[in-house]
Chain A
C-alpha cells in the first residue's frame, strides 16, 4: 500500500520533471536573483520591457520546439531573422509608401516558404535536418551579405517598428501580445490531433508510418511553421532594434538552448512547448542577470554553451539509476 503510494508519487514527480518543471524553478531562481541585484526590476513597466525584449526568442523557441519534438533541428532561423529585417528595410527603401501590413505579410510568406524549402530538403531529399538547415543558414547569410555588401541601409518606418517596440493598449507592448498569441496557438496545436501525431512521429517514426501517418507531410508542416515563427520574430526584432546585418545572429542556437532547457528530448518525441518558452525567458533572464553583475556581453555565448551542455547532460541522466547506483553490484556489460 505504502509502496504503491510512493510509487505513484514518484511517478507523478517524474512526469512533472519530464514536463519541464526544472525550467520553471530555474526561471524563478533567476528572477529572484535579478530582484536581489536590482529591486526595481519588478515594476510593471520594466517587467513588460523584459517580456518585450524576450518575445522574439520565445517565438523562435516555439517554432524550434515543433522541429525538435519531430526529431530534427532548424539551424536556419537566425539567418532567416536577418533576411527578414534586411528585406523589410530594402522593401521600404524601394517603395517608401508601402503599407506595413503588406510588408509584414511579405515577410511571413517568405519565412514560410524558406521553411517549406527546408522541409522539402529534409522530407523528400532525405538530407538530415542538421545539415539541410545548416546549408540553408549559410545560403541565406551569403545572400544577405552579397545583397547589402555587409551594411544594409535605409530605415524602417515608425508604424512598422511599432510592432516591435510600441504598445498595443496602455503599457502592454505589441510584442507581448504577439508572443502570447503564438504561444497559445502552439499549445492548441499540440493538443490537437496534429500535435499528438507529431509527438508520436518524433517518438517512433516507423510505428507512425505503419499506422498510416503521412510522415513527410508532418515534416513539411513543422519546418514551415518554424520558418513562419522566424519571420514573426524578424518583424519584432526589426522594430525593436532597427536595421542591422547582425540582427538575428546566433538566434538559432539560443532557440535550441531554450528548447533544451525546457526539457525537450533531442531526437524527438517528448517535451512541452510551454516549458520551451519558459526556457527562452530563462535564457533572457540569465543574460539580464549577467549584465546586472557587469559580466561582459561577449561572454554570453560562452555561458550559453555551458548551459546547453549541462541541460542535455542533466536531461540524459537517469535519476533513478543514479540514486540506486551504490546498491548495484553487477559491473556494466555483464548482463
Chain B
C-alpha cells in the first residue's frame, strides 16, 4: 500500500488556478522527484501536503486513511516534514535546542537538557553525522550542516514523509554528494521522500519515480529507470508558441558592441563572458537561483563583479554602486517593481523623473517620455500605486528613458502585467533596441524569451552554460538550464 496518496488536488489563488486535478503517490522507502518549470505548481503542491495551503478540491491519504490539514502543525503530527529552501533555524541556539524547539523534554517543569542532548546525539549518530554535536551553536554551522539539522529535526518528530524543496540550491558540489548519501540513508530507513528540484541530474541520480508538472497540471509520472532526460524535458515544456512578438533584428540593425564583460565573477557568478550590441535584444534564460538576477545586478553595480573586465562603449567600467553604472549609461528595470522600481505614493511624474533628478539631468519633457512608453493614465499627478501593473511597469521604463541609456537591462519585463500591456512593452523593447540601445532581457517565461530574443544566453549555477541563436526550442533551453546534457 502506498504511504501517501494525493488525488485530484486543485488549488486557486484569487481565482487563478495554480493546481488542477493533480495526483501523486509515494511509497515508503521511495525517493519521488517532482519537476517542472518555474510556476508549474511544484511548491504549491508541496505546501498543500505540508498543511500550509488547504486544497480547494482533492483528497490526501496517509496509509490509506484520509487526512485533512488545517495547519502545518497538523501535517507535522501526521508525519509530514518539510525542509524548505530557506533554512528556518535559530542561529544563536544550539543544535539540540533547535531540534526540540517548542517541544523540549521537561523534568519537574524544567527543560531536561541532558535528555535533549542525548536524543540529538543518537539521531546524529544514526545519520553518521560527526562533524558537529548537540551543543554546537547553529550559527557556526555551514549551510549543508544546517540542512542536516533540519533533517534531524524532522526525524525527531517521527516524520515518515519528508519534503525536500530544492535542497541543493545553496550547497557546494562536495556538499551535494554528502546530501545524496543522506537522502539514500533516509530512504533506507523507510521514509518516503518527495524531492523537488530543477536539476535533472540530481533527479536522475536519486529518484525512483519522477512526476512532471506543467502549468499546474500533472503531465506524467515516470519510472526513472525507464526514461531519460530528453523525455522528461519534453514533458516539462512542449507548449505552443502562439503569442505575437515584434520582428527580430535584421543583421543590418545589429551594430557595434555597447557592453562587454570578460571573466566577470563574484560570490554568486563565475566565468561571465558576454557582449551586448547596439540594436540587439539578448535573452537570458535559467532556472531560479541560476544567477540571472545576480548577473543583472553585477552589471548595474548593485552586487558588483569582484573580478573581470567590463566595458561600456569601449571604456572600462567597474561600477560598485548603481549610480556609477547609471552615469555610464546602464539602466536596470528590476524584477520587483513595488519594492525596487517605484516610490508608490509619489506621482507618475515624480517617479518618471526620479533618475533624471538624481543625475541632475535637466530639461526632460516628462510628457513626451510617458507618451513614448504609451502610458494609459488619467493624469501624471496621480500616485503610481493606483495604476495597473502594466502601466506601473511603463512608468518604470519611462524613468530610465530620460537618461537615454546605452544599455537597458530588463529583469522579468512583464511580470504581473496584463496581456495588452505585455504586447505594448514587447513592442517598446524592440523599438528601443532599434534606437541603438543594447537590450538584455531576463525572463522566466520561455515563450517571451524565445519570442523576443535575437540570441539567448542560458545560465546555470552562476555561469553561462551556453548560447543559442534566435528562435531556439524550449527543449534546448531547458536542457542547458538543467544540465541535462551531462547525464551520460
Contacts and interface: CB of A to CB of B under 8 A. Distances in A.
Interface of A: 11, 193, 196-197, 199-201, 203-204, 206-214, 265, 269-270
Contacts of A270: 345
A165 B351 CA distance: 44
A204 B342 contact: yes
B343 to A, nearest CB: 4
A193 B357 contact: yes
Interface stretch (B232-240, B332-340, B476-484): B332-340
A11 B382 CA distance: 9
Given A207-B341, A209-B322, A210-B322, A269 B346 contact: yes
B350 A196 contact: yes
20 contacts: A197-B357, A200-B343, A200-B351, A200-B354, A203-B344, A203-B345, A206-B339, A207-B339, A207-B340, A208-B354, A210-B300, A210-B332, A210-B341, A211-B354, A211-B355, A211-B399, A212-B322, A212-B323, A212-B326, A212-B327
Given A204-B343, A204-B344, A269-B346, 18 more contacts: A11-B382, A193-B360, A196-B346, A199-B346, A200-B343, A203-B344, A204-B340, A206-B339, A207-B339, A207-B342, A210-B300, A210-B322, A211-B399, A212-B323, A212-B355, A213-B354, A214-B323, A265-B345
A11 B359 CA distance: 33
A19 to B, nearest CB: 12
> Which 8 residue pairs across A and B have the least CB separation, nearest first?
A203-B343, A200-B343, A212-B358, A193-B357, A213-B358, A212-B326, A204-B343, A211-B354
B379 to A, nearest CB: 10
B350 A210 contact: no
Report whether over half of chain A's contact residues are helix, strand or loop; otherwise say mixed. Answer: helix
A196 B358 contact: no
Contacts of A211: 322, 326, 354-355, 358, 399
B302 interface: yes
Interface string B58-97: 0000000000000000000000000000000000000000
B345 A196 contact: no
Contacts of B229: none
B353 interface: yes
A206 B336 CA distance: 11
A320 to B, nearest CB: 13
A208 B309 CA distance: 27
Contacts of A209: 322
Interface in B343-393: 343-346, 350-351, 353-355, 357-360, 382
A228 B340 CA distance: 32
Contacts of A199: 343, 346, 350
A214 B350 CA distance: 16
A204 B332 CA distance: 16
Contacts of B350: 196, 199-200
A212 B356 CA distance: 9
B397 to A, nearest CB: 13
